[in-house]
């Protein structure tokens, strides 16, 4: 499948925003140059690459992480004042080879999918032990953060959907989210999620003790 994907794509830098294969990402597009990006994508293959900025996300052209996620616009609503409410459906991860300068008001890049050929395949199921650990640590993590969840939906979710949704919505730092995006597969991502949740709870406990 990756050989059919374009090697030149528009990229949308946004901290904390990840799109995984077979996952969805809702976005509110209001900045003029990225409204132009959406309009251009809609008359083409409807593809956009989501990439996190490394630092100084408020800069006009922040440095980008080299790995991002390609998504197809599966839903698009334009508001009366020209903003877009879209949903991206994830297709494949990519690595940026280099950016294309000056071709459009938004950022574009030449990308490769070679490292992520397995993204087009269905994920292997998690072991029962890892799935149980993920749900247990998620309960502790959400309790620690004062957050709630629909547990019936969580328990009914397949492994890949649950892992990628948690990687997207859990309040981790951008560098941690990037590590989740770059994890080799769903199992490695689930193992990293468990580590990050346990670390966050432990760090909060240490802070409380020291106060």
Ordered domains of the chain (ranges, CATH): 2-120 (2.30.130.40), 128-210 (no CATH)
Q: How confident is the model at residue 57 (pLDDT cuts 50, 70, 90)?
A: low
pLDDT digits (tens, 9 = 90+) for 100-133: 988 789 999 999 999 999 999 989 999 999 999 9
Measured between alpha carbons, how far is 121 from 77 in angstroms, rounded to an integer?
Answer: 30
Measured between alpha carbons, how far is 144 from 137 in angstroms, rounded to an integer?
Answer: 10
pLDDT at 211 over 50: no
pLDDT at 206 over 70: no
User: Which alpha helices (H) appear in the chain, and where do they start and end?
Assistant: 32-42, 128-145, 151-156, 159-169, 174-182, 186-210
pLDDT digits (tens, 9 = 90+) for 150-195: 999 999 999 999 999 999 999 999 999 999 999 999 999 999 999 9
SS3 (DSSP) at 103: coil
Token pair for 133: 């650990």
Measured between alpha carbons, how far is 139 from 72 in angstroms, rounded to an integer?
Answer: 32
pLDDT of residue 172: 95
pLDDT of residue 53: 96
pTM: 0.90
Give the dihedral sign, CA 75/168/183/65.
positive
Q: How confident is the model at residue 41 (pLDDT cuts 50, 70, 90)?
A: very high
H/E element, 13: strand 8-13
Average confidence (pLDDT) over 29-56: 95
pLDDT at 5 over 70: yes
Give percent of the chain with pLDDT exceeding 90: 87
Average pLDDT value over all residues in the chain:
92
């Amino acid at each position: 499948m990756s050989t059919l994907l374009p090697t030149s794509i528009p990229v949308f830098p946004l901290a904390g925003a990840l799109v995984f294969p077979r996952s969805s990402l809702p976005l509110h597009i209001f900045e003029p140059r990225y409204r132009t990006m959406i309009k251009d994508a809609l008359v083409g293959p409807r593809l956009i690459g989501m990439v996190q900025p490394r630092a100084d996300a408020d800069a006009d052209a922040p440095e980008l992480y080299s790995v991002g996620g390609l998504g197809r616009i599966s839903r698009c609503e334009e508001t009366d004042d020209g903003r877009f409410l879209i949903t991206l459906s994830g297709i494949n991860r990519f690595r940026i080879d280099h950016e294309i300068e000056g071709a459009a008001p938004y950022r574009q890049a030449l990308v490769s999918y070679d490292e992520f050929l397995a993204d087009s395949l269905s994920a292997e199921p998690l072991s029962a032990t890892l799935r149980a650990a993920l749900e247990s640590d998620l309960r502790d993590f959400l309790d620690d953060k004062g957050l709630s969840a629909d547990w019936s939906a969580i328990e009914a979710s397949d492994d890949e959907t649950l892992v990628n949704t948690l990687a997207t919505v859990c309040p981790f730092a951008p560098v941690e989210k990037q590590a989740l995006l770059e994890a080799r597969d769903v199992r490695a991502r689930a193992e990293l999620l468990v580590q990050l949740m346990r670390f966050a709870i432990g760090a909060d406990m240490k802070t409380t003790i020291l106060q």
